[in-house]
Structure 1
């Protein structure tokens, strides 16, 4: 009983639970393989008060993948868009329509 009471009274725990990435229903979006899910996770990050700190922390740690601070990370770097799985284009110079 004391543990539950201290959990609810701890402001750090309460604040963490209000962050979009701590929502158990949305947690899988931040590490999905589907580009649409990653874009949805980025949208959830848009209103987060810790977006800059989260992104910088991920860069400092070299996070291997996922959405951190509203950015998609791959191999420790920020990428603009994650391509879906499948065969790559035959001509890399060809624009995607």
Structure 2
């Protein structure tokens, strides 16, 4: 895919690889009207991208997920 410097992923790359779910959601929303969204997603799936937002999807460990789990240890649930 050729570089397209005016796309949000090129001008705000930090959002597309953020740790915070809120920033990833903003990046995902930025993909909505992208002219290369489908091509981007297909490429990410083919390459098994380990993380980031690609083609309007959040990737974690090479697969598209609904949301990225929070960092750190999971909370204990009361029994």
TM-score (norm 2): 0.86
Matched with 1:32 is 18
Match of 2:7 among 16, 19, 27: 19
Matched with 1:82 is 68
Cα drift, residue 90 of structure 1: 3.1
Flag the structure with higher helix content. Answer: 1
Match of 2:44 among 43, 58, 76: 58
Question: What number of residue pairs does the alignment pair up?
Answer: 76
Matched with 2:30 is 44
Distance 1:87 1:18 in 2: 38
Which of structures 1 and 2 has the larger relative contact order (alpha carbons within 8 angstroms, sep 6+)?
2
Q: Which protein shows a greater Rg?
A: 1
**SS of equivalent residue, structure 1 residue 83:** coil
Distance 2:60 2:20 in 1: 13
Runs of at least 5 residues in structure 1 that lack an aligned partner in the other structure: 1-11, 92-97
TM-score (norm 1): 0.71
**SS of equivalent residue, structure 2 residue 53:** strand
